[in-house]
Structure 1
């Protein structure tokens, strides 16, 4: 059974956290969530004031954080800033890239992928190159200035990095992850009962 770890911080965009968690669960992926530097020790206060209780209140205390098949970083400006400011998160991204494991980021979450590459002086192993990415338009300039190839597509997959644009692309982002982890048949099996538009 594939496994996933999704991060959450104060200011994380709720849709971008809950949608991948929900869709991956429907696909039978074993998913866990971990908090990053939460002000309250048990829950995150998200971008629209919804409080979410992560499975693990502290990423720093999650000793097997590198053991999952994919690391997922939702957006939301303040939440993404918390990821960028966390040495633990940046090193975790590096570890997943070096191992050739999947890293998914949506909206401003892509900035943490970019920041990880900068802070560690480039990734090692399979993930040693900058990849083609997308993000929320509000951080596009910042990412382009760092020399990353940028796309306006709703979801971009380059090697083992999956990026997406924002709350409105969260379902497509999540279904893309399902297909990569579990195959096209499982994606279709999950999408059918959700009564999604044919374009997804």
Structure 2
């Protein structure tokens, strides 16, 4: 069973957090979420005022000392305030670097892609072609990353996407990358996912 670690902060985008959590669970992943610098340790206060309770209130409370060994993929949702928290958090940036060095998948959507840029500035690594919400495109290009305006971009083991409207495609692409197209189709069909997605 593949395992996914999904981060959440105050100001993360609801759809970009819930959609991967839901779709990957449907695909048979063990999904766990961890809070990052939450003001209230009981929940994350999201961008649209929805409150979400993470599985673990902090990264340090995830019951795996070396998350990059225990999980197959690290996922970072967007939402500008949440992404800024990720970019300023040493443990998050280290975690991104650890997953990438271990050859594991790292996925980011919307402004979450900026945490990949911040991690590479801090810990080094290989730049990949990525995408993001248009509002942070300049920041990513200034970091020297190749930029695409495709809805979802896969380059090696880095998966990135544009925003709330691409969250379903983002999640299904993760399923396909780790479990194959047959599993993606198996998950997408009962959800009545449009072929045009």
Q: TM-score range by the shorter chain?
A: over 0.9
Q: Determine the structure 1 residue equivalent to 2:36.
A: 36
- Asked if structure 2 preserves the Cα contact closer than 8 Å seen for 1:60 and 1:88, the reply is no
Q: Determine the structure 1 residue equivalent to 2:140.
A: 143
Q: Determine the structure 2 residue equivalent to 1:9.
A: 9
Distance 1:10 1:180 in 2: 29
Q: Determine the structure 1 residue equivalent to 2:106.
A: 103
Equivalent pairs counted in the alignment come to 194
Alpha-carbon shift at residue 119 of structure 1 (Å): 1.0
Runs of 4+ in 1 over 3 A off after TM superposition: none
Q: Determine the structure 1 residue equivalent to 2:149.
A: 152
Q: Determine the structure 2 residue equivalent to 1:86.
A: 89
Q: Determine the structure 2 residue equivalent to 1:53.
A: 53
Task: With the length of structure 2 as denominator, give the TM-score of the two structures.
Answer: 0.97
Task: With the length of structure 1 as denominator, give the TM-score of the two structures.
Answer: 0.95
Please list every run of 5 or more consecutive structure 1 residues that lacks an aligned counterpart in the other structure: 124-128
Please list every run of 5 or more consecutive structure 2 residues that lacks an aligned counterpart in the other structure: none
CA RMSD of aligned residues (A): 0.7
Q: For 1:142-167, what per-residue CA distance to the aligned partner results, in whole angstroms no more than 9, with x for missing partners? A: 11111110000000000000000000
Alpha-carbon shift at residue 183 of structure 1 (Å): 0.9
SS in 1 for 2:187: helix
